[in-house]
Structure 1
Amino acid sequence: MDRMPGWARQHLAALRALLVLTVVTGVLYPAAATGVAQALFHGKADGSLVDKDGKTVGSAIIGQSFTDQEGAPVRSYFQSRPSAAGDGYDLLSTAASNLGPEDVVDTLAVPGAPDEGRQSLLTRVCARSKAVGELEGVSGARPYCTPDGVGAVLKVFPAVGAPVRAVSVNQSCPATPFVTAYQGVGVECGRPGEDYSAGRTVPVRGGVTRVEVPADAVTASGSGLDPHISIAYAELQAPRVARERGLVRAEVEALIRRHTTGRALGFMGEPAVNVLQLNLALDKG
């Protein structure tokens, strides 16, 4: 060993350190952590899995969709909030949309082109609110949304000075613009493929004073995996679920209260309803 060159001794020492650290951090520590977790928190360590009739149907801490093969909501079940994780609640794609409040202008799809366009965050919220309103039999109207469920946004030209042209950029022609005029200028529908970037962006609030669809019904969580909905969203869905299942509304509302969790540590966040557990309780009758 003493006759080994210095560079060889250094490499041998590095190899020994690599092997020791690999065993300690890659084998012993994970095994110990897993053993302690299984011993003290068995259910949570396995992913808080929920079983029904001997079959795993989901997790209490990961949301899922309650839709049919076409993606339409199953009317006899409570619906979860939207998810931006992959195609929805994808554990391998957990993420938010990363779109902010200034994302209000759509890219309209050009007929016959492979590009399908892109909906802004505002239009996504408007479309979801309209769909939830139709499902629950209430108004899906929101400020800054058109009656046909897109963002109520104008592009005004020129960007500075008196308007000479105004376009409802999120309403693709031949749609009828949500307003007929802006500051004395007639409003046009949006023409797919036309560049409106030079115009001034003007969101229009409209006359909506009461919003019946809660915020969590139209926005995704930061992780895209939230298994809970607000009490307000659960109560909005209660009449539909009761009607579809032939139940008294008070029975469904009692189940909602039974599956409502309080604020974390008594003061953080808001009370919420676990959708999977609530739907399983409904199935039990």
Structure 2
Amino acid sequence: MNKHLPPWLARNTVAVRVVLVLTLLVGLAYPLVLTAAAQVPGLTGRAEGSRVTGADGKGAGSSLIGQSFTDAKGEPLTRYFQSRPSNAGTGYDGAASGAGNQGPESVVDAEDKPSLLTLVCGRSKAVGELEGVDGARPFCTPDGVGAVLGVFREDGTTGRVTRVVSLNQACPAKPFRSTYKGVDVECATSGADYGRALTVPVRGDAPADPKVPADAVTASASGLDPHISPAYAKLQAPRVARERGADTDAVRELISEHTTGRSLGVLGEPGVNVVKLNIALDRAYPVKSSSSSQQGA
């Protein structure tokens, strides 16, 4: 400390010097060094957010963040490959990354929130209708909700079955099964308490290997993943080719070009970047449109 300054002033002078030095180092020098390093060839694109340019020459988001290819009403734009569902905000919101936080035991709908099973069933039915394939899957009803019965027994968990309710089919819907163990199945009454019933998912006669892939009906953990499985991309190829007036084999070739393999050859599964694929699609087979097709990132 300076012997000519009062102790309190000397201490504050030291504190001011430390603040100035740290500000220069951490607030100026460090960011400048990182910015310079980010300009190294091979790192520039990633450092700038992996931005991509659309077929019109304008910015089209990031190759690392998915987008929803839907119209103003949320309906799929049939000329584009569709992304997987997203729980990030209203869909692929980079500021609201997150999962739906529903697990495999989420099979019974609440009044204000469908179960994970019903979400999967409804999505599978919708994708099946869009792609012209059977959207049926195990534990789903034909009308696209979870095939789950609430079974009341005489002694609580044992004994004779006294009543059966199709928990996810609210009246006046017709239950997916007419009887269960000799008892007529009822539709569910809105607001009724079925807490004493045993929850019994019913597999049904849907194929064990559904036509609609799992990634078409479930969201990624981040809600931002821009990839879909090659199987889901190939399922969409005939519809996209038809809408574009393109050859289906040529569209499948585009899918192959935008398919990435497993990380390090062993980690994860192959994926197709939908954002890049749809941009390539616009370049190879443009369609006349008066409005922008991409939403999200």
Give the structure-1-normalised TM-score: 0.90
Deviation string for 1:173-232 (max 9, x for gaps)?
Answer: 100111112222211111111121222111111111241000000000111111111000
Of 212-221 and 32-41, the range deviating more from structure 2: 32-41
1:230-241 mapped onto 2 (5 Å cutoff): 230-241=229-240
> Match for 1:177 among 159, 163, 175?
175
- AA at the equivalent of 1:49: R
Q: How far, CA to CA, are the matches of 1:10 and 1:152 in structure 2?
A: 73
Deviation string for 1:52-107 (max 9, x for gaps)?
Answer: 33310121111001111111101111101111100000000001111110011101
1:164 alignment partner, SS class: strand
2:39 alignment partner, SS class: helix
- AA at the equivalent of 2:241: A
Residue 131 of structure 2: aligned partner: 136
- AA at the equivalent of 1:175: A
Residue 113 of structure 1: aligned partner: none
1:195 alignment partner, SS class: coil
Q: CA deviation at 1:280?
A: 1.5
1:253 lines up with 2:255 in the alignment: no
Count residues in correspondence. 276
- AA at the equivalent of 2:144: G
Of 247-256 and 212-221, the range deviating more from structure 2: 247-256
- AA at the equivalent of 1:104: V
> Match for 1:83 among 72, 82, 86?
86
Q: How far, CA to CA, are the matches of 1:101 and 1:10 in structure 2?
A: 61
Q: How far, CA to CA, are the matches of 2:179 and 2:255 in structure 1?
A: 46
1:73 lines up with 2:76 in the alignment: yes
Residue 114 of structure 1: aligned partner: none
Check 1:250–1:13 CA distance in 2 against 1; reply closer, same or farther (3 A cut). same
- AA at the equivalent of 2:192: E
1:141-220 mapped onto 2 (5 Å cutoff): 141-158=136-153, 159-162=156-159, 163-209=161-207, 210-220=209-219
> Match for 1:96 among 82, 94, 99?
99
2:223 alignment partner, SS class: coil
Say what the alpha-carbon RMSD is for the aligned residues: 1.9
Q: CA deviation at 1:20?
A: 3.7
Q: How far, CA to CA, are the matches of 2:14 and 2:131 in structure 1?
A: 69
Percent identity of equivalent pairs: 59
Gaps (5+ residues) in structure 2? 285-297
Gaps (5+ residues) in structure 1? 109-116
1:26 alignment partner, SS class: helix
- AA at the equivalent of 2:120: V
Q: How far, CA to CA, are the matches of 2:110 and 2:14 in structure 1?
A: 59
- AA at the equivalent of 1:279: N
